[in-house]
Each structure stands twice: as C-alpha cells, then as structure tokens.
Structure 1
Amino acid sequence: MAKMKVDNVILPSHGSEKTFDVTITDNIVTSVRPSSAPHHCPSLLLPSLCHPHLHLDKAYLLTSNNPTYAHLAPKTGTFSEALTTTAQAKSLYTEDDLYLRGAQLLSTIYTQGATSARTFVEVDATTGTLPLTVARRLKREFAHLIEIQIVAFAQEPLFSKDDGEANRLVLEGVLASEAAADISVLGTTPYVEVDEHAMSENIHWAIETAIDKCLHLDFHLDYNLKPTGINQGQVMPWAFNVVTFLLTADWNTMNKDKTVVLGHCTQLSHANPRNLRHAAHRIRTHNLPIHFVGLPTSDLFMMGRDHYPKPRGTLPVMDFIREPYCLNACLGVNNVGNAFTPYGTGDPLTLASWGVGIYQAGTEKDAETLYGCVSWRARKAIGLASEQDEKEREETDVVEGMRWKPMLLVENKGAVEVPGPGSGDGVSGVMAFPARQRVSIRDVVWDPPEVNLRKVIR
C-alpha cells in the first residue's frame, strides 16, 4: 500500500486562514484534516499546470546556441520570415539535436509545475517522421513526470503549392503506421494554403481523418487582423465555418469525447459581436466540444508588423469565457526560443500573470480564471479532464475519496536575507526580513513564485 502525506497546506477553496494535512493512499485522498502542527509559513496546494499548445520540435532553435541554426536568426522578425527560416531549420534536424532540445523543454516545464502538455511535431515531406520518432521516445521517457499528447502536425500546405500532396501522403502514412498508437491529435494550419478552396479542403480532410482515426483535432486558424464581415474588403473568420463543418460531419456522434481546439484566432479579437454571439450560441446549443486557445506571447509579437500605427491582437480569452459568450477558452505558450517567439521561458504562470494586463483582468476572480486557463481549463481543452476531474479542479478543492492527480505545491520562505552594511573590519552582516507569503491563487497569478519554490506532488 502506497501512502503519502502532505502537511500544513492551504487549500484555496477553504480560504487562506486555515491549513490542512492531506493523506493519500494508493492514489486516493483518504484524509483531509486541520493541520496538527500549523507552521507560520504554510505551503499553498494548487492544481498542476498544463500546456495546451506547445511546439516540441521547434523549441530553442534560436536560444540553444547550436551553430547549425546560427544563420537563421531573425533579420526582420516578421511572420513570413519565421515561416521561411523555420522551414529551413527542419532540413537541418538531427535525432540528437531534436532529442536534446525536446528534453530541455520538457524538463523545464516540469520544474515550472506542468504535468501535462499537448506537443506539436511536424510531419511533412521535409521532416519525414524524424520529429515524431523523437517525440515518441520523449513521451516514453517522461511518462512518469508529464502526460504528453503528441500532435501529428501539418505546418505546411496539404492541398496547394508544389509539395502539398507529398506532405499529405507523409502524414497519411504516419497515421496508418504503428506510430499512430502514440498520436492523440491531428493538427493542421489551413491558413498556409494558397486560396479559400484549398483551405476548405484542408479543414474537411482534417475533420474526416480525425473521425476516421478517432483523434482529437487542433487547428491553427485565422492568424490575421483582417476586418470581419461580409462587405467588400472584409473576411469572415474561418472559425465560424469550422462550426458548420463539424455539425455537417456530425462530430459529436462520429467522434465522441474528442475535442476540437482552435488556436490563435487573432482575427476574432475584433469580430463583430453579433456574429460572435451567434457562433457562440451555435457551439453551446449543439454542445460542440470546441475550445479556443489564446497564444498571446507569439500573437502580440507577430501581429501588426506591416502597419502604422501598429495594431496588436490576440484572442480575447477572458471575454470568451464570460457572458454573453460563455465559451471554453484557455491560454498556451505556443513557441519557446524560436523565430515565432524568441523571448521568454515558456512559464505558464508568467503567461497567466501577463494575462492580467493583456486582458485588463484585475480582480481576484479574474486571477482564479487566469490560473484555470493554464491549469484545469487547459486540461479540459486537450481532453485530459474527466467530468469528476473538471469539477474538482475548477473548485480547486481536495476532498476525501477523490482520485489524486499531480498537484503543484507553492512553498513559502520564512525570511528574505540580504548582505548587511559592512562593519569596520570589512565583514558584512546579514539583514533578514519576513518574506511575503503567497496564500491564495491571486498571489500566485499576480506575483508568480520563483521556480525553486514550486514542487510537483505526485
């Protein structure tokens, strides 16, 4: 019988004044009791973090300092340049290089508190199956730490340009091979096709293939800031078309319990509210498992480069969650250390914290929602949350009888110590001050704790 105890922890659902001792036996919470010996700086116990959208094979292309990719450093920083240089990088991949960068990324997100991740790996005529082969190895080696979903991902066209058919054949071959056992998701990028007809073919093929293979579906979509509507010069977001396509394909019946994620969708940041309400109503009425994933770190870096003044746009995640839309939405990091997002560590808590400013979401309730966007809402988006798990995690509660899943322990230091003023003999003393305590979700989102204060409890 495996038994574990976590003592003197704050459970957010019970407020910050009480502390508890939690006992877990054979992965079941068997006891939640008031702390027997409360400490003046208790730890905070929270649901662990989740990456709903993370490119595994492209991580650290710029920040690994691998000379192989040195000539691909951004010159203009544009999206088209990032597409071009990243495509060039793919032809230079080696198994050892892919493994090292992937392992570095997964190790880092675990120390940050993530225990689940949807990871994209590109499969096309250039890369072949090499990134997928490495991803499968990493999935096995990190299985004890992170629940990894692999997305067989088409960044390149499937129905246009010279290599569209070749790309599609490679992807179809992978989905029919023994490697398919490790693939949970099919992902495509319709906007890289040359015209609307090819984009429509891309989406229809992806929906039909996901249904045939019983896979989750993930689209990179509407990555622009074009005016929305039906008048001249305006373009209706493809996200609205996806709703229609899914209903026509009878997704809920044909691919039960599989989610559909729409990533980026920056165009929706200024969609007509009436059109958006209509689309949201259709999604809710038909109970479509559509989840929107906002990716602000890359969106805000890329959008508006060809205009002056320079507009910025990212999916309005907080507005989508609130009334009148009441949609499923969360936050993802997308890229780390490459031309699409050359800055940042990929820390989900930092992303949630930035969300306070990006979405002007400054209340305590907003902080809880933003934490959920990088935790239980993200897990729900990628299909890793059961109904019981959703309820437990949304309430951030720990109750007797529930299944134990990895949790994030945020530790509190008793004091902050800094060198004191030097004395006459040149020897410095130490000045010590009581450390600020993080005792609620608000504290963690507004002021993310250092990584060394985070610990995953499995």
Structure 2
Amino acid sequence: MEFVIRRVRIDDERPLMDIGIEAGRIVEIAEAIPAIGGEEIDAGGRAALPGFIEPHLHLEKAFLHRRLPARSGTLEEAIRVTGILKAKQEREDVLERSRRVLDMAVKNGTTLVRAHPDVDPIQGLVGVETAVQLRDEYHDLLDLQIVAFPQEGILKTAGVEDLMEEALDMGADVVGGCPYNEMSWDDTMAHIDRVFDIAAKHGRPIDMHVDFADDTRDRRFASARYIAEKTIATGYRGRVALGHVTSLGALEPDEAKPVIELLREADIHIVTLPATDVYLGGRGDTAKPRRGLTPVRALHAAGVNVAYSSNNIRNAFTPFGKADPLQIGNLLAHLVQFGTPEHQGEILKMGTENAARVVGVSEDYGLAVGKQADIVILDTFSVADALLDLPARSWVLKRGRVTVVTTVESRICRGCGRTHTPTASGSTRS
C-alpha cells in the first residue's frame, strides 16, 4: 500500500477508520488495514472531509483593498474602483497576488478552485493568461478551473466576444456571463443567448454572475427564470451555475416559488457568496435592511443544488477574507439560521459535495473507495464540530500526496512562573 491514513473519523456514527491509497486514489476503507503503507499518517481520531472546493474566486482582483480604498462600500463604488485598478494590471503583480490567494486556499484544505478572471478590453486577457500559468504551477496542490468572465458585458463593450473566444482557445474551461451589465432587458437576454451559443460551440459548461441586486424592479436583475428556461430548451441541464442571485431573495415566497421550481427543473447550481453579498447588499435600506442573500433555505428545501464560495479576497467588493471555506460556511450558517446538527451538516455539504456538483467532478469526489484521494484532516475529533471549531487543517492531501501539515501549539499560562518572550512570528517562547 502506497499510503495509509490510520485512525481517522469520517463518520461520527461509525468507528475510526483506516484509509488506504494507491496511485492517488482511495482503494480501501476499513477499521484496520493490515498492509503497511509506504507512508503513513496517524490521524489520532481526528475528523476528515473530502477536500474543500471554492467554485467562485476572483484571483486577479485580490488584495487590492489598500491601493484605492473604497469609502462608501456600495456595489457601484466597488465596480468603479476595481475598473480603475484593473486598467493598471501588470502580469507579475497579478501572479503574486493570485499566488497569495491560492496559498491561503491550499493551507485551508481547498483542493479545487474555479477562478473567474475578467475578460474585457480594460485588462485584456492577463487574468486568463496568469490563471493558465498558475494551473500548471499549482497542479500538485490543487486543480484550477478557469472561467472566461465578461464583467463589462458582451453587447455593451465592443470586442468582448472575440476575447472570450480567445480565452477559451488559450485554455479557459468554462463560459462566463454577466447579463445584468448590459443597457437593457433585451440586451440582457441577448447576452444570455450569446453565452449559451459560445458554450454549445465549444462544448463547455456555463457559470454566470446574475441578479446581483437588492430587488427585481430592474428586469436586468431578474434573469434567473429566463436562464432556467434557456437551460431546459438547449439541453444544458446540470451544466449551468449561477453566482449571487441575490434579487431572488427579495421576492415574496409566492413570487419566488415558480422561479425556484424552474431552477430545480433545469438542474441549475446556485453559488451563494455571503461575504460579498451581505457586505454590499441592503445598503440603501433605512429600515428593515435586507440581508442581500439568495434564498438559501427555500432553494435547499426545493431540492436546488446550493453551494457557497469566498468570491473576492480583500478588495472593494469584499474587504475581508482568507480563502477559508469553513469560515465562509460558518458565516453562511449564521446568516441563514442553519444551526441544528442536521443543518450544519448541510452547510458542510455545500462546501464539499454540492460544490463538487457545481464544478462537475462529483463522480471522482468524496471519501469512498475509487475516489480521488483529495482529503483534509481537521484538528477536531468530530465531523459535526468542523463548523463550530473552525479547526486547523492538520493534514491536506491532493491525489494521495501530503500537501499541507499544520501544527498548532497553544497553552494557557496560569501562575506557571515562566518568562514568556515573543518570537518574530508573534508566538511566545518560554
């Protein structure tokens, strides 16, 4: 056996298990594997999950928060500020900031990222070019999918469609969309039609930013129904993901229900982005401010596949974040009031199994025999405590190879009589 993980908790209702790994895949799960591994880890009863998945990250926009700080915190300001900064994008700087995000993600147990670089005349294809380079550079640490994302619209901005085609030829995996960033509802529908045409031409899945608003008074921010109908008509069920979809949460339940049913029928994946959506949403409300989220509870209850992601890391859209899916999951659980043990389990699924469906890797994903050995072992002893403890990621494995080892030492000192000297890292030495 190439690799054996000993005494790991994969299910709180079952005994501790050993996991055997060969050629990057799980080949055996048993209470005791007699074979000796070429390499072994003793998890000591710690809990394990399949590697986390971030289905919606903007790498090239990360860590811009101090270069031109936002002042009002609105979506309009974030778009304006980011537009100014992305016009100045330089390849090496984009690579450095993107690596910071990916390093954070790897250390936090993420084994797959779907990146959404802008494709437009403002920054050209630098986001795609750098993502393609990083996909190769980080191959042993995580998988990187690339979306050709037309942030500035397709009809509104000349040359974007050609750039999207070029991005796909360069190696982008997914066709993106931003239909609300057009001048009219007719153009929003035409934008969606173009996205489906490009995707069908190249045989690629679709992942769009849609309905990113507090309400649906402007039809450009009420496109989910049209997209669902288009998905069904074109035979694209299961291959379309939508990020944000916040305006759907402003509808009364009777208004939202038929749209949600269509999303379920079309097997569309919804990716909620709570750190961004709550930060930017509801700012114009002087009373009873909206939370600015897609209706996660209603979507989940209806059987729609819901996942979550970090979206932006430290920029005008989201001034916080460290690419930690457990942190975002904990935030989401609070916001949608998913606090029961069963609901906490569903949140964990949203960052793992559900996210795997979004990015199309379900068949090869999970803690089961035959699956790819992408595993995160947490420094906690119950799977159910993952969202509560936000524990260190003791070990992370990608395709059966250890990529991260984290050791945490913390000591309560009460009358110990020792001298404690801060070290350069900020910890103490005694």
How high is the TM-score relative to the length of structure 2? 0.85
**C-alpha distance 39-246 of structure 1, shift in aligned 2 (>3 A):** closer
Q: Is the 8 A contact 2:280 2:292 kept in 1?
A: no
Q: CA deviation at 1:10?
A: 1.1
The offset of 1:36, in angstroms, is: 8.2
- Equivalent residue for 1:7? 6
- The answer to whether the 8 A contact 1:294-1:316 is kept is no
Letter in 2 for 1:6: I
Conserved in 2, the CA contact under 8 Å of 1:9 and 1:43? yes
Query: Where in structure 2 are there 5+ consecutive unaligned residues?
Result: 35-40, 401-430
| Alpha-carbon separation, structure 2, partners of 1:224 and 1:272 | 15
Do the aligned partners of 1:317 and 1:331 also contact (CA within 8 Å) in 2?
no
Q: Does residue 25 of the first structure (1) align with residue 22 of the second (2)?
A: yes
Q: Does 1:247 align with 2:244?
A: no
Instruction: Mark the CA change 1:328 to 1:50 in structure 2 (over 3 Å): closer, same or farther.
Output: same
Distance of 1:94 and 1:227 partners within structure 2: 37
- Residue 311 of structure 1 pairs with residue 300 of structure 2: no
Q: Return the alpha-carbon distance in structure 2 between the equivalents of residues 378 and 215 of structure 1.
A: 18
Larger Rg: 1
1:51 aligns with 2:54: yes
**Per the alignment, in what secondary structure is the counterpart of residue 118 of structure 1?**
strand
Give the 3 Å change call, closer, same or farther, for CA 6–454 of structure 1 in structure 2.
closer
Mapped pair 1:170 → 2:189: no
* Aligned 8 A contact 1:317 1:330 in 2: no
Instruction: Give 1:234 shift.
Output: 8.6
Aligned-residue offset at 1:40:
10
SS in 1 for 2:72: coil
Distance 2:44 2:5 in 1: 14
For structure 1, which segment, 276-285 or 239-248, has the greater mean C-alpha deviation from structure 2 after superposition?
276-285
- Cα 1:234–1:57 change in 2 (3 A) is closer
Partner SS state of residue 339, structure 2: coil
Q: Is the 8 A contact 1:367 1:441 kept in 2?
A: no
Answer yes or no: is the 8 Å Cα contact 2:60–2:94 preserved in 1: yes
2:254 corresponding residue in structure 1: 274
Aligned alpha-carbon RMSD (Å):
2.4
In 2 relative to 1, CA 311–279 (structure 1 residues): closer, same or farther, beyond 3 Å?
closer
Q: Specify the SS of the correspondent of 2:180.
A: helix
**Cα distance, 1:144–1:168 mapped onto 2, change above 3 Å:** same
Give the corresponding residue for 2:391.
449
1:141-160 to structure 2, matched below 5 A, reads 141-160=137-156
Q: Distance in 2 between matches of 1:32 and 1:405?
A: 12
Partner of 1:208: 197
Tell me the number of residue pairs that the alignment of Structure 1 and Structure 2 aligns: 392
Match of 2:346 in 1: 369
Counterpart CA distance in 2 for 1:352 and 1:103 is 23
Displacement of 1:9 in angstroms is 0.8
- How far did residue 402 of structure 1 move? 2.1
CA spacing shift, 1:235–1:73, aligned 2, 3 Å: closer
| Alpha carbons 2:6, 2:42 under 8 Å: kept | no
| 1:376 and 1:385 in contact (8 A); partners too | yes
- What is the identity, as a one-letter code, of the residue corresponding to 1:242? I
Q: 1:153 to 1:446 in 2, by over 3 A?
A: same
Whether the aligned pair in 2 keeps the contact of 1:329 and 1:377 (CA below 8 Å) is yes
Q: What letter is aligned with 2:357?
A: K
- Matches of 2:186 and 2:76 in 1, distance apart? 21
Distance between the aligned counterparts of 2:375 and 2:43, measured in 1? 22
Task: Give the match's secondary structure for 1:312.
Answer: coil
2:211, 2:221 within 8 Å by CA — same for their partners in 1?
Answer: no
Report the equivalent of 1:263: 243
Please report how far the alpha carbon of residue 274 of structure 1 lies from its aligned counterpart in structure 2 after TM superposition: 3.1
Q: Residue in 2 aligned with 1:255? A: none
Contact kept in structure 1, 2:55 and 2:308, CA below 8 Å: yes
Shift of the alpha carbon at 1:405? Answer: 2.4
**Any conservation in 2 of the 1:226–1:235 contact (CA below 8 Å)?**
no
Find the counterpart in structure 1 of residue 304 from structure 2: 327
* Aligned ranges 1:418-457 → 2 under 5 Å: 438-451=380-393, 453-456=394-397
Q: Does 1:337 align with 2:314?
A: yes
The equivalent residue for 1:402 is 370
Taking a change above 3 Å as real, the CA distance of residues 280 and 62 of structure 1, as seen in their structure-2 partners, is: closer
Name the CA shift for 1:227/1:93 in 2 (closer, same or farther; >3 Å): closer
Q: For structure 1, which runs of at least 5 residues remain unmatched after alignment?
A: 64-69, 253-257, 412-437
Q: CA deviation at 1:353?
A: 1.1
For the structure 1 residues 40 and 380, does the alpha-carbon distance in structure 2 shift closer, same or farther, using more than 3 Å as the test?
Answer: closer
When normalised by structure 1's length, the TM-score is 0.80
Deviations 1:139-196 (A, max 9, x none): 1100111111001111102212xxx123333223433x4x1xx211111211111211
Measure the CA separation in 2 of the matches of 1:111 and 1:193. 38
C-alpha offsets along residues 342-389 of structure 1, whole Å, 9 cap, x if unaligned? 112121001111122111111111111101111111111111222x64
Contact 1:218 1:263 in 2 (8 A): yes
Percent identity between the two aligned chains: 24
Q: What is the deviation of 1:263?
A: 0.8
Question: Closer, same or farther in 2 for the Cα pair 1:236/1:219, shift >3 Å?
Answer: closer
Inter-CA distance 189–234: structure 2 relative to 1 (3 Å threshold): closer
Paired with 1:40 and 1:192, the residues of 2 have a C-alpha distance of: 49
Contact 1:367 1:446 in 2 (8 A): no
Q: CA deviation at 1:275?
A: 3.9
Match of 1:428 in 2: none
SS, match of residue 154 in structure 1: coil
Distance verdict in 2 for CA 1:100–1:3, change over 3 Å: same
Q: Counterpart of 2:120?
A: 124
